[in-house]
Structure 1
Amino acid sequence: MFMLSLQLLYFWNVMKLSKYPGCILAICLLFANIVATKAQDTWSLQRSVDYALANNIDIRQQSVQKRLAELTLHQSKMARIPTLNGSVNGSYASGRNVDPITNSFITTSYASYTGALSAGANIFNFFYQQNTIASNKYNYQAQDKLLEKARNDVAFNIATAFLQILLNTEQVHISEVQVKLTMDNLANTKKLVIAGSVPESNQADLEAQLATDSVTLVNAQNQVIQSTLQMKALLNLSFDQPYVPQIPDNIGEIPLPRLDEVDPEMVYSAANNNNPLIKADQLLIKSSERSYAAYRAQMYPTLSVSGQAYSGFATSAKNTEIVSIKNVSDETIGTVVTSTGTYNVTNKVYEYNTKSTTIPFKDQVSNNFKQTLGVSLNIPILNGWTYRTNAQKAKLNIESQKLTMEKDNQKLRQDIYTAHANAVSALQKYYAASRGVDASQKAYDFATKRFDLGLMNTIDYITTQSKLFNAQINKVSAQYDYIFKMKLLEFYRDQKIAL
């Protein structure tokens, strides 16, 4: 639709069709027919809101932030569970190395494998983990409120865009009526010119007015396209997919609260209890307070316990067994001197044939199995002032969050009072615009009778007709502006909106 509008305007400018009012009107009617042909179904406000809540990019981004906060909370809870880690290592060595089993130097090639299982647990850490969990819990709840705020904001923006489309569509209808009236007057004037009752300049004036009205109609149709594109962006809807709003039967019957029901102080009191941003600010303050307590806990000693089980296997660990006797010889180990003489003392020396085999895996694992158990007390003494600085930063963050909430409260109150003042002004403008339409309609009716009798020139008649047209546009704009202002106050009070 948007590209079609640009093409029509380009064709209009190139062909200089502004000189031919009939051509301009034909283009307008062709454009309107094309738009009507493409409209296959309609979108109610509720359907638009439901679609946006499921597809709007801002809501999906905030949903991701909520899930991230949920994961952080889950991880902080799991941190209370004792740690358990296992490791398996394998290596191959050659040359002169330390035997991993006997710790003696050997010169051979061997492969070794070790396995270990270690566990640890915090016994006492001055409630660091509990405060961290509480801080993450409040932050998760705050992200949930911010998601609710994003959903409410999108719903309100959808309603605003919906009203804007309705307003622009109504302006198109008024412009179409204006074009038709000018065409009827032009056709009647042409007959009078042919009959010689009025000068030909009257026809020229009406042709110029038809061109102006046709331009206004094209601009109004383009405003519908622009507001529809804005709606599609909010919906995250494909731009080539048609969007036609379901127009209420009577926009004036939309339920609106009375001004005394939306007193600014009363609305602020309700908003202060219901507004998700204020609730999120409160939760973030609690999260910052618990975070400060957690950082302070890091400055105190922590007590923990740890244990480890270890075993290993190496191909260098051998069992040696005797296969057979290789040789037997006598070895002199000393000399004995007696009264009868000197005798040599000998000893039998046996040489064996041996066989070496690697100690089985099961035996090595059993022989090398060892366990350790330890208790550790960690006392922070001097760590570059890190822990104390982190605690001071956390304390300042509490103050920052409180100022943020104060600022959001102040802005909320200001927005509500501004919205109420705008609503009062919009209602007065609507009443004034309504009186202006009544007066302009009467003036136009009298002018039409005088013009038909030849008692009013064309310029004055066109001026009267333009005043009526502008008054009608002003009334429609004022009506929609008042509806928007009242719905804004209703949104602040109830955190929901409906037409």
Structure 2
Amino acid sequence: MFANITSAAAQDTWSLKRCVDYALQNSIQVKQQEVQKRLAELTLKQSQLSRLPNANGTIQGGYSDGRAASLLDNSYVNQSVFSSSGQLSADADIFGWFGKQHTIAANRLDAASNSFLLLKARNDLAFNVTTAFLKILLDKEQVKINEVNLKQTTQNLENTKKLVIAGSVPESNQADLEAQLALDSSTLVTAQNTVILSTLQLKAYMNLGFEIAFQPEIPENISDIPLAPIAEMSPEMVYSVATSTYPQLKSDELRIESATRNLKSARAGLYPKLTSYGNLYTRYANNYYIDPIKQITMPFGQQIDNTFQKDIGLSLRIPLFNGWQQRATVAKAKEEVFNRKLTRDLDNQKLKQDIYTAHANAIAALQKLSATSKGVEAAQKSYDFATKRFNIGLMNTIDYITTQSKLFKAQIDKVSAQYDYIFKMKLLEFYRDQKISL
């Protein structure tokens, strides 16, 4: 049973979808953006509740000793007094030029903006995970090529040793191949280490423990990964679609509207504000006497009734001069609207530049893939002819190793070009659809 469990764990593979899903659930960056979204929602809720009346209750108690005014005749006498009081106050805004309504609208727009920023963070993470996943696949393909190259060198060395023993070729041929074998072994180790580093990068995006075993699910044929035809991915079309789907631009537009609402709220502070208010107050003191001569204190309940006060009214606050603070607030709000428009234009410009750059890179990658494919075909033919000549002693070892190295480099270049083209096309698809898949 335990052997089966171990075998199942060892064969456990991670598909791209599994990697993306895990990253979205565990990424620290996404969680930080979720916190920002919740903070914006709390700010909105707080501003909405600010429309309700304010009510506050106060209870005080204290002790004093020394000369103080008598509560009966207001004369100063030496006395020790314990007193307590209670107060209930309330106020409500009646009219303030819709300042709070504009603030609520601004906070609602900010909350919606943060929702788009969260979507952007999730999309960017999915893209980064996909890119890192493709990098691992590329590095693993290069390891395979290095292994084949090492195997071929090893076989050639074994054959050369036999020929040296038979006296058919000089011993220097064997030495040359042994040096090439050492170089190929070193290159393989480097390629294997590159896979480890690429895997660590992907785990960092996923927030997956570095000690956890990771085996990517490798497609049977990388050429079968569906890609949109480059002719259908013109930069004008991709940009046109992206302007209506790109979360950053949507967030920018909402932040412009939010800043405009904040400007209106700031302007409302320049006008009078009407507020209603009401207060209830009462107190008790142990020097409130019924009979000062006998120092008989008035009962608690009677004191509460005798000192009970209440008032209600309206308050009109007219701003006259406050060190130009409110007008400075309005001026800053205007500049913030302008600044957010500039941010929108800058993000729009960057998106357009990125899309046109990605399209140019995709065309270049396709051309490079075509060239490297032809290069592999030519290098393979050259190597096949060289192998036949080398085996019958018509080619020296140095020339043969050079031919083999050219084939090896051509194969590496083709694999790199193939993955580079896939990445460039997936980047265009990401800009167009805001999602990515293999």
Give TM-score scaled by structure 2 length: 0.95
Q: Which residue type is aligned with residue 250 of structure 1? A: N
The runs of 5 or more residues in structure 1 that have no matched partner are 1-35, 322-353
Deviations 1:282-312 (A, max 9, x none): 0000001001000000000000011110111
Shift of 1:366: 2.0
Q: CA RMSD in A?
A: 1.7
Shift of 1:100: 5.9
Task: Give the equivalent residue in structure 2 for 1:464.
Answer: 403
Q: Which residue type is aligned with residue 403 of structure 1? A: L
CA separation of 1:360 and 1:417: change in aligned 2, threshold 3 A: same
Deviations 1:236-273 (A, max 9, x none): 22222222211111111111101122111010011000
Task: Give the equivalent residue in structure 1 for 2:24.
Answer: 53
Task: Give the equivalent residue in structure 1 for 2:392.
Answer: 453
Question: Displaced runs of 4+ in structure 1, greater than 4 A?
Answer: 36-40, 99-104
Task: Give the equivalent residue in structure 2 for 1:126.
Answer: 97
Q: Which residue type is aligned with residue 302 of structure 1? A: K
2:125 to 135, 154, 158: 154
1:177 aligns with 2:118: no
Shift of 1:117: 0.5
How many Å separate the matches in 2 of 1:406 and 1:311?
61
Shift of 1:218: 0.7
Equivalent runs, 1:293-304 vs 2, <5 Å? 293-304=264-275
SS in 2 for 1:95: strand
Shift of 1:104: 4.8
How many Å separate the matches in 1 of 2:74 and 2:398?
115
1:425 aligns with 2:364: yes
Q: Kindly indicate whether the alpha-carbon contact (under 8 Å) linking 1:52 and 1:236 is maintained by their aligned counterparts in 2.
A: yes
Deviations 1:59-84 (A, max 9, x none): 12212211221111111111110000
1:273 aligns with 2:212: no
Give TM-score scaled by structure 1 length: 0.84
Q: Kindly indicate whether the alpha-carbon contact (under 8 Å) linking 1:101 and 1:314 is maintained by their aligned counterparts in 2.
A: no
Task: Give the equivalent residue in structure 2 for 1:394.
Answer: 333
2:231 to 255, 260, 271: 260
SS in 2 for 1:398: helix
Q: Kindly indicate whether the alpha-carbon contact (under 8 Å) linking 2:228 and 2:425 is maintained by their aligned counterparts in 1.
A: yes
1:96 aligns with 2:35: no
How many Å separate the matches in 2 of 1:361 and 1:371?
19
Deviations 1:10-68 (A, max 9, x none): xxxxxxxxxxxxxxxxxxxxxxxxxx999552211111111111221221221221122
Q: Which residue type is aligned with residue 119 of structure 1? A: A
1:198 aligns with 2:179: no
Q: Which residue type is aligned with residue 211 of structure 1? A: A
How many Å separate the matches in 2 of 1:59 and 1:484?
23
Shift of 1:468: 0.6
Deviations 1:361-412 (A, max 9, x none): 2222122211011211111111111111111111111111111111111111
Deviations 1:106-149 (A, max 9, x none): 42212111010100111100010000111111111111111111
Q: Which residue type is aligned with residue 121 of structure 1? A: A
Shift of 1:155: 0.6
How many Å separate the matches in 2 of 1:259 and 1:291?
45
The runs of 5 or more residues in structure 2 that have no matched partner are 1-6
Equivalent runs, 1:319-330 vs 2, <5 Å? 319-320=290-291
SS in 2 for 1:243: coil
2:113 to 142, 147, 155: 142
Shift of 1:102: 6.9
Q: Kindly indicate whether the alpha-carbon contact (under 8 Å) linking 1:186 and 1:207 is maintained by their aligned counterparts in 2.
A: yes
Q: Kindly indicate whether the alpha-carbon contact (under 8 Å) linking 1:100 and 1:112 is maintained by their aligned counterparts in 2.
A: no
2:351 to 398, 408, 412: 412
Q: Kindly indicate whether the alpha-carbon contact (under 8 Å) linking 2:109 and 2:258 is maintained by their aligned counterparts in 1.
A: yes
SS in 1 for 2:85: strand
How many Å separate the matches in 1 of 2:425 and 2:216?
21
How many Å separate the matches in 2 of 1:441 and 1:286?
62
Q: Which residue type is aligned with residue 471 of structure 1? A: A
How many Å separate the matches in 2 of 1:246 and 1:492?
25
Task: Give the equivalent residue in structure 1 for 2:3.
Answer: none
1:438 aligns with 2:377: yes
Q: Kindly indicate whether the alpha-carbon contact (under 8 Å) linking 2:72 and 2:289 is maintained by their aligned counterparts in 1.
A: no
1:318 to 289, 296, 317: 289
Task: Give the equivalent residue in structure 2 for 1:336.
Answer: none
1:165 aligns with 2:165: no
How many Å separate the matches in 1 of 2:334 and 2:313?
36
Task: Give the equivalent residue in structure 2 for 1:385.
Answer: 324
Equivalent runs, 1:223-302 vs 2, <5 Å? 223-302=194-273
CA separation of 1:194 and 1:308: change in aligned 2, threshold 3 A: same
Task: Give the equivalent residue in structure 2 for 1:494.
Answer: 433
Q: Kindly indicate whether the alpha-carbon contact (under 8 Å) linking 1:39 and 1:243 is maintained by their aligned counterparts in 2.
A: no
How many Å separate the matches in 2 of 1:484 and 1:112?
79
Q: Which residue type is aligned with residue 467 of structure 1? A: K
Task: Give the equivalent residue in structure 2 for 1:209.
Answer: 180
Q: Which residue type is aligned with residue 192 of structure 1? A: L
1:481 aligns with 2:412: no
Task: Give the equivalent residue in structure 2 for 1:68.
Answer: 39
CA separation of 1:417 and 1:126: change in aligned 2, threshold 3 A: same
Using the aligned pairs only, state the percent identity: 59
